[in-house]
Structure 1
């Protein structure tokens, strides 16, 4: 590569990473729109949870076929991109296989990259077939039409192109390594168990043409990686980056243990304690919130917003939801997608208005998630249990139901009747409190 090429590469690299970090700042800004909540109280268990679920993929393999294929793509993505460091150095300084001095270690690395590239290609093709030929039910649901469906396919196409370019780049490089004279900077380095079978394609071509093709493959590969990296912001595949913090900050309490509003708990204790002073100042943490529950993303906590960005749209939650399986409107996947879409909408509003959110008469409740969906939930935690990255659609559902009940008194009639009975009779059933213990006499 010439000095001009090195300069051009530096510019392309700066633009790619610059745009990426600009979008990362937007993601962090949007997540911080949520209410503060402490999730750093048990670091040992948090690190263990992240290592087991995000790194170890322990929940993915509960469905063995998809789990194995995902592990292949996941490991391939992580390990093959180690080579990105060498590509960057070669691109900036005009070197060729700068890590070749590692000798046998380098050969083993390149060989493992190639084998993984083939395995990734096979896995991705199977994924494409599962979505578009076999058409598994969770991939053709009504909540996964339009952009979400196209997005999943675009990522798979991206991976096929990137892996193919990687192998073609290596194959043309190997061909030029074996050319005598004129290409001395193509030092002999690396082991190529796969591309050695592709290299003969270049036999009979002029060395100059193969060199042009090699540089073309090289440029397309690195630019493709930069495009892929920046596409993540617009894609469900943002979980590649966010699965680790999401599992680290996940709720480690037992499933089914709901959080109680401190102000409501304090009020109930006050009512039940005859010796309590009703005029005593309440602790700050027990202060009455400005709003009970959540009607928009600013009412959710930041971990719930992180959950929304991390959602893989795999549909395991929805395919396990008993409400959805019985034909009700609820889809836990749609809950997360709606939350993320609203968060992005609010973010664009803030960008447009120079860092300030201007009320837009739109909210998460009703515009993105309906009351019908919320009340269809049985709160069984199946969606939480199934999620491969510890997302909790249920926590969002419960906070929004809390808003409907406590702010709008908009619960379904049977629930309102039950709560009225509890308030008046101390029990869910409609009878006099004096009759509560009559069963003892029967």
Structure 2
């Protein structure tokens, strides 16, 4: 019976990490449904981008208030994980405050954790108020109704509860050390510094040692189990960016914004047309494979980096708030493009799971069933959404690939665009005037 809590803790840990591992494998499988793309170039610049954008949060602080609040939560999340390591080791080994022999270093760490926990609580309350009381415009867009709104608030509630549990656990522990409770006493004196939780003393000091142990152990268990639950909730939440922001910024597009990719098959055709000495029949091959599908109509037509982008989306809405089409009342929301891509990818993944590893045609696709043509053609391709994203997501690349499908596979461009392309083909310019008449306006003046 002495080792029962340790065994129970080990089982909880194995189940929590095991379920998380299963979700990571499913996530990896879904991302790999995308087409392969070579992103092995310029690794030094990619590492710099990851360090600067994901680790350094440089694009978050462009908006000072939200940036500062996010940095507090971000730093708190990373540093407090050191305390989680101690909890895990204590749970497995049956020890208590295993790192206490570090002395003043340990006191400094625990004190820092507590101050950060308090700052995280303040930041979380501010975030909640911005979403639910102030109701910033980017948080009340149509795509944020229902689950996205609940998910955003759920994350804040979880973080709030975890921080209060941490402080309650420390407050009870501090009282147990003062009262000399067995297993809580440290040879070198009080283990840890408690600049925040010591203010809970008036609520706890009158409790007996037995009741204090119940409070401390309950908070301890709820805290670590809550962290494991939160870890497994990430897969179903917008907070998946906690894990994916780093690879996403590493694999971000390094080309200048506005430089679009060329299709090799189309480029070769144009070169052939522009070469007066070329023999179009000399290069023909009856056995050559058919050209692959132009553009994208479903998630499997996108590349894996674009699918990684979809899973990394934080739903912060900075892209949509910067989008000129959205600002002028158009239906387009770059955030919705990423959310729709993720939702369709999840649907495809569930289809594969339900059919033993094989996708069974479901009569749906990303185009029309999730993203409308009106949204796609509202985009001005200005790259404002790409510039605004704090984790290097590129909604424009998905929009352009889907436009390419509409134009090259379905000939379904808007009439104005068809007229322009016809003019370019016939007159070498977007205007409906042949080359011989271009200077007529000079004579008329």
TM range (shorter): over 0.9
Partner of 2:262, secondary structure, is coil
User: How is 1:168-207 mapped onto 2 (pairs within 5 angstroms)?
Assistant: 168-180=168-180, 182-187=181-186, 188-207=190-209
1:417 equivalent in structure 2: 419
Q: Aligned equivalents of 2:434 and 2:245: distance in 1?
A: 53
Ranges in structure 2 where 5+ consecutive residues have no aligned partner:
none
The one of 370, 373, 397 aligned to 2:372: 370
Deviation of residue 417 (structure 1)? Answer: 0.8
What per-residue deviation string (whole Å, max 9, x for no partner) do you get for residues 332-356 of structure 1?
A: 0000000000000000000001111
1:343 aligns with 2:345: yes
1:353 aligns with 2:355: yes
1:272 equivalent in structure 2: 274
Q: Aligned equivalents of 1:131 and 1:289: distance in 2?
A: 48
Deviation of residue 403 (structure 1)? Answer: 0.4
Contact 2:176 2:184 in 1 (8 A): no
Contact 1:173 1:186 in 2 (8 A): no
Q: Aligned equivalents of 1:219 and 1:152: distance in 2?
A: 25
**CA shift in 2, pair 1:281/1:76, >3 Å:** farther
1:68 equivalent in structure 2: 68
Deviation of residue 165 (structure 1)? Answer: 0.2
Q: Aligned equivalents of 2:363 and 2:316: distance in 1?
A: 31
Partner of 2:15, secondary structure, is helix
**CA shift in 2, pair 1:280/1:111, >3 Å:** farther
Partner of 1:62, secondary structure, is coil
TM-score, normalization: structure 2? 0.96
Contact 1:2 1:94 in 2 (8 A): no
Q: Give the superposed CA RMSD.
A: 1.7
Q: Aligned equivalents of 1:203 and 1:89: distance in 2?
A: 28
Give runs of ≥4 in structure 1 deviating > 4 Å. 279-283, 436-442
Q: Aligned equivalents of 1:439 and 1:268: distance in 2?
A: 32
Contact 2:96 2:183 in 1 (8 A): no
What per-residue deviation string (whole Å, max 9, x for no partner) do you get for residues 159-186 of structure 1?
A: 0000000000001111111113x51444
1:94 equivalent in structure 2: 94
Matched residue count: 439
1:385 aligns with 2:384: no
Deviation of residue 440 (structure 1)? Answer: 7.9
**CA shift in 2, pair 1:200/1:303, >3 Å:** same
Q: Aligned equivalents of 1:393 and 1:418: distance in 2?
A: 25
Q: Aligned equivalents of 2:298 and 2:237: distance in 1?
A: 22
What per-residue deviation string (whole Å, max 9, x for no partner) do you get for residues 7-35 of structure 1?
A: 00000000000000100011110000111
1:296 equivalent in structure 2: 298
Contact 1:79 1:113 in 2 (8 A): yes
**CA shift in 2, pair 1:82/1:351, >3 Å:** same
Q: Aligned equivalents of 1:60 and 1:316: distance in 2?
A: 10
2:327 equivalent in structure 1: 325
1:117 equivalent in structure 2: 117
Q: Aligned equivalents of 2:80 and 2:240: distance in 1?
A: 18
Contact 2:173 2:184 in 1 (8 A): no
Deviation of residue 429 (structure 1)? Answer: 1.5
What per-residue deviation string (whole Å, max 9, x for no partner) do you get for residues 195-240 of structure 1?
A: 1111332112111111011110000000000000000000000001
2:77 equivalent in structure 1: 77
User: How is 1:21-32 mapped onto 2 (pairs within 5 angstroms)?
Assistant: 21-32=21-32
Deviation of residue 404 (structure 1)? Answer: 0.4
Partner of 1:378, secondary structure, is coil
TM-score, normalization: structure 1? 0.96
